[in-house]
Amino acid sequence: MRKKLVVLGATALILAGCGNQTVAEMLNNQKKEVKTEQIAKQAEKIVPEVKIIGENGVGAGIIVKKEDSALYIVTNGALVASKPSALVQLSNEKLVQADVHYMSTAHNIAILQVKYKTDVNVPNVYKGELNNLSVYVNGQPSTIEKYADRVAAYYVEAGEKLPLGSPVMNEANGEIVGIYFNRKQQGVAEPYILPLQDVVPLIDEWIAEGMSATNRLAQSKNLYSYIEGGDKEAVKQSVKTFGKDIFAYNADEVKIFIDLFQEHLKAAVIENDATVMENLTGAEDLQGTLNSMVAYYKSKNAKIHFSNTKVKSIDMKGKNIVARAKTEYVLTNAAGQEALANTTITYEIFKNAEGEYKMIRLTAEE
């Protein structure tokens, strides 16, 4: 009863200051104000900022595109340059694995792909003037400033170190202005903002094209010198929580090695000689398996298409890498007719101290 009286008393005070405004008008205005406040709160919640865990530290990113079962996130390239995988922490605290879908060393950004179905509203990209623009970075208000000695180079003065890849959001409406990271000039790291309006025409193109393992690895190596050491303990804890050490191997290097193995297998079948694969093997008892494989494919007049190999999974078994991949090839029958076939092979691979990959065991499933 007391609560009701308090509410009525507050209403009476509001009515006393309404002048000629009717009660209906006043209530409608109140509803509009409440609705506006709710929209503002929702706008804060839909800002798709996520935490990014790379091998060497923790940063941030911004969701720039949503498909039916995938999210695409722009982040700092150096943050994820050492391995083509990362962990992403969404707003529900869930950790999911992300793959580096595209890498641009020219802009020092990466596009991550997360296979995850969720509802998210991607904010618009800001397309106006940047200098003296009021923004939020890592939840903190700031103002964009322009370097006096450089054309189209912008930064924010931060009181504390900001996470690499942090979204820079327009304070007025939440539009994406760009992402924040450190840019090295003459060996000195300086704050830098990459305006997304400069690359937005390219993002859809990069997402559609993707990137081969070979090109992504080459691009990543260009950013190795920009990698900064971060909170390794936080990375370790995130990997433990996720339950799988995705940084224990480099998926691109593994894929490239399997392609190389298939190329050598193709040559071995053509020459009917498995010894051409010896430089890729690291176990003596593997040669017998390779001899049998070459003899089988040769008897079927098989044409191996190593470029169509698709890696299904990569895991660790002790210190060895275990990859399961599906490879297409063409069989030719006695009448000379060709038919497409495939085989799934489980590869056990070892990386030695010199960084060389060696095949030590494989099992084929027809």
Tell me how far apart the alpha carbons of residues 86 and 246 are, in angstroms, rounded to a whole number: 7
Q: At what angle do helices 2-16 and 23-46 cross, to 10 degrees?
A: 110
Average pLDDT rounded to a whole number, residues 147-174? 89
Q: What is the CB-side half-sphere exposure of residue 327 using CA atoms within 13 A?
A: 30
- Structure confidence by residue, pLDDT tens digits, 69-79: 899 999 999 99
Q: Could you give the CA distance from residue 17 to residue 225 in angstroms, rounded to a whole number?
A: 65
CA distance 148 to 131: 11
3-state secondary structure of 277: helix
Which tokens sit at 247?
């940084």
pLDDT value, residue 38 = 41
More confident site: 162 or 118: 162
Q: Could you tell me the two tokens for 185?
A: 């000039």
Token pair for residue 245?
């050490």
How high does pLDDT run on average in the chain? 84
Considering 18-27, 160-169, 233-242, 261-270, the range whose residues carry the highest mean pLDDT is 233-242
Prediction pTM value: 0.81
For residue 93, the model assigns a pLDDT of: 79
Which of the four pLDDT bands, split at 50, 70 and 90, describes residue 127? very high
- Asked if 154 and 145 touch (Cβ cutoff 8 Å), the reply is yes
Q: What per-residue confidence (pLDDT) applies to 301?
A: 85
Tell me whether residue 297 is exposed, middle or buried, using C-beta atoms within 10 angstroms of its C-beta: 0 to 12, 13 to 18, 19 or more: buried
pLDDT in tens, 5-39: 233 232 222 223 344 444 344 434 544 454 444 43
Q: What is the pLDDT of residue 39?
A: 38
pLDDT at 330: 86
Q: Count the Cβ atoms, other than its own, within 10 Å of residue 1.
A: 5
Per-residue pLDDT, averaged over 31-55, amounts to 58
pLDDT average, residue stretch 128-142? 93
CA nearest to 123, candidates 162, 166, 169:
169
Q: How confident is the model at residue 184 (pLDDT cuts 50, 70, 90)?
A: confident
Q: What was the pLDDT predicted at 23?
A: 38
pLDDT confidence of residue 33: 52
pLDDT at residue number 75: 96
Please indicate whether residue 211 or residue 25 has the higher confidence score (pLDDT): 211
What pLDDT score does 306 carry? 66
* SS3 label, residue 203: helix
Q: What percent of the chain has pLDDT over 70?
A: 86
**Helical (H) or strand (E) element with 112:** strand 109-114
Residue 217 and residue 199: Cα distance in Å, rounded? 21
Which carries the bigger pLDDT value, residue 241 or residue 189? 241
CA 353 to chain centre: 28
Render pLDDT for 298-329 as a digit per residue (tens, 0 to 9): 888 888 776 678 899 999 999 999 999 998 88
pLDDT at 1 over 70: no
- Whole-number Å distance between alpha carbons of 56 and 235: 7
Return the pLDDT at 366: 60
